[in-house]
Amino acid sequence: MTTPVLPEGGPTPAATARDGDTLRVAFVGEVDHGKSTLLGRLLLDTGSVTTDRLDVPVEDGGLAFLLDGLTEERADLFTLDTASAVLETGSRRYVLIDVPGHAELLVNMATGASRAEAAVIVVDCRERAAEQTRRHMRVLAMMGVTAVVCAITKMDLAGWAEAEFHAAARQVAALADEIGLTLVAAVPVSAMTGDNITAASTRLPWYAGRPLLDTLADLTPWGDGGAPLRVEAQDVVEGRVLARVLSGELRIGDRLVAPGEDARTALRIERFGEPPQESATTGDNIGLVLSGPPCAPGTLLAPPDRRPLRGDRWRVRVLCTAEDGFAEGARCTLRRAGADLTGRIARVERHWDSARRAPDATDRGPVRFSEVAELTVMLDRPADGDDVRVCAPLGRFMLTDGSVRILGLGIVDEIAGEDRR
């Protein structure tokens, strides 16, 4: 395994990749439980890809390699670690993200999860969920991905037995409950035969629910949970601010403030190649004409009555993805949508195995690979941010050592200290 480094040009801003009605769904679970095969089946049966793309026949397990083949053709930096494919149904577009299950691939898993807004937990009906699934579920919960569907798969190998399905589904439901995930549905499927994936199956007459694809429609991204308006100014061109709506909805006439500046009014909202818009929503990239003085690239704009928190003492949780870990006292950078915040790991409060619950005891020793750590980071200067539960896109970040080495993926729990609002 190699220590991950940032791709040139910076990381994918955590979880800001949503545009309009696109939902990014990570497929997680134990290795060999059938994630890749299920993904391949979804693509095939929705007509997203055709059978001539299969190098190996379906009956010989070829579906598991379908996505690998598609991904290799792309030069996109961000698909190198984690394979993904696009599926369109009705009004929604899904980006399906294949997440490897090995412990050593936790890095990829976390990167995939950090870009995902929802997840499908894939469980072999005969084997049930084990260590990896638990780990993946905890990482999802930590990254603010709370809506999940569980696919209980390989039902063909269990003689389509109702009892097998219920036993596995009950186990996952209990886990989800414990970890704090919302299990939207548990669906019995066979990815190999294609049963109950895009259409109801006659081999599962006892199952009263909907096929897997239909249940994905119930997955709501975190952005819809009443998150406050957050707009990131990225550049200014000819009086227009090129901006991204990180969360919430922006309307013409809305008042927006930046730290230490007077409020501005949104006068005009434009989208490339379209007439002026009345509003823009989470994930939209827009051209924005504002009243008042120009605003600097990197500025975070928010409504005057729902401003982000501000301070230099940040309480965060980080999933360590650096092979040789990190320790208290180290310099660090929090890279997140729109900003690189530099500082120091002032204190390791405690850390623990990511498959387990947080312990009560403090443990300030070095943080190891794949552990979750609670840290206090002292920033060099106060910065704006949000608690991940208030605004997931702004509450998630990538932790680096200040150069290109990634230490982990994190979320903001609390912002205090100097300049507190």
Ligand X SMILES: Nc1nc2c(ncn2[C@@H]2O[C@H](COP(=O)(O)OP(=O)(O)O)[C@@H](O)[C@H]2O)c(=O)[nH]1
Q: Enumerate binding residues for Mg ion (CB under 5 A).
A: 35-36
Choose the contact partner of 154 out of ligand X, Mg ion, none; CB within 5 to 8 A by kind: ligand X
Instruction: Give the contact letters, 160-199, x = binds to ligand X (CB under 6 A), - = no.
Output: ------------------------------xxx-------
* Number of amino acids touching ligand X (CB under 6 A): 17
Of 82, 84, 114, 153, which lies in the binding site for ligand X, with binding defined by CB under 6 A? Answer: 153
Helix (H) or strand (E) segment spanning residue 173? helix 162-179
Q: Is 64 in the site for ligand X (CB under 6 A)?
A: yes
Q: Is 401 exposed, middle or buried (0-12, 13-18, 19+ CB in 10 A)?
A: middle
The amino acid occupying position 296 is: A
Q: Is 31 in the site for ligand X (CB under 6 A)?
A: yes
Q: Angle formed by the axes of helices 131-142 and 106-115, to 10°?
A: 40
Of 18, 128, 154, 336, which lies in the binding site for ligand X, with binding defined by CB under 6 A? Answer: 154
From residue 158, give the alpha-carbon distance in Å to each of 109, 162, 164: 29, 9, 7
**C-beta separation of 110 from 139 below 8 A:** yes
| Closer to Mg ion by Cβ: residue 36 or 190 | 36
The residue sitting closest to Mg ion, measured at its beta carbon, is: 36
Question: Nearest distance from residue 58's CB to ligand X, in Å?
Answer: 9
**C-beta separation of 271 from 284 below 8 A:** yes
List 151's β-bridge partners, or say none: 122, 187
By C-alpha distance, which of 197, 213, 28 is closest to 120? 28
Q: Is 108 in the site for ligand X (CB under 6 A)?
A: no
| Closer to ligand X by Cβ: residue 165 or 314 | 165
Question: Nearest distance from residue 238's CB to ligand X, in Å?
Answer: 49
Give the torsion sign (CA, 359, 127, 219, 183). Answer: negative
Question: Nearest distance from residue 271's CB to ligand X, in Å?
Answer: 38
Choose the contact partner of 398 out of ligand X, Mg ion, none; CB within 5 to 8 A by kind: none
Q: Which two tokens stand for residue 192?
A: 């190999």
Q: Is 37 in the site for ligand X (CB under 6 A)?
A: yes
Among the candidate windows 27-35, 303-311, 312-320, 376-384, which touches ligand X by CB under 6 A? 27-35
Question: Nearest distance from residue 33's CB to ligand X, in Å?
Answer: 5
Q: Is 144 in the site for ligand X (CB under 6 A)?
A: no
> What single string gives the DSSP state of each residue in 42-102?
HHHHTTSS-GGG-SS-GGGTTHHHHHHHHHHT---GGGSSS-EEEEEETTEEEEEEE----
Q: Is 133 in the site for ligand X (CB under 6 A)?
A: no
- Cβ contacts of 5 within 8 Å, gap of 6 or more: 404, 405, 406
Of 16, 36, 132, 196, which lies in the binding site for ligand X, with binding defined by CB under 6 A? Answer: 36
Choose the contact partner of 34 out of ligand X, Mg ion, none; CB within 5 to 8 A by kind: ligand X
Give the torsion sign (CA, 280, 283, 286, 291). Answer: positive
Interaction site with ligand X (CB under 6 A):
31-37, 61, 64, 101, 153-154, 156-157, 190-192
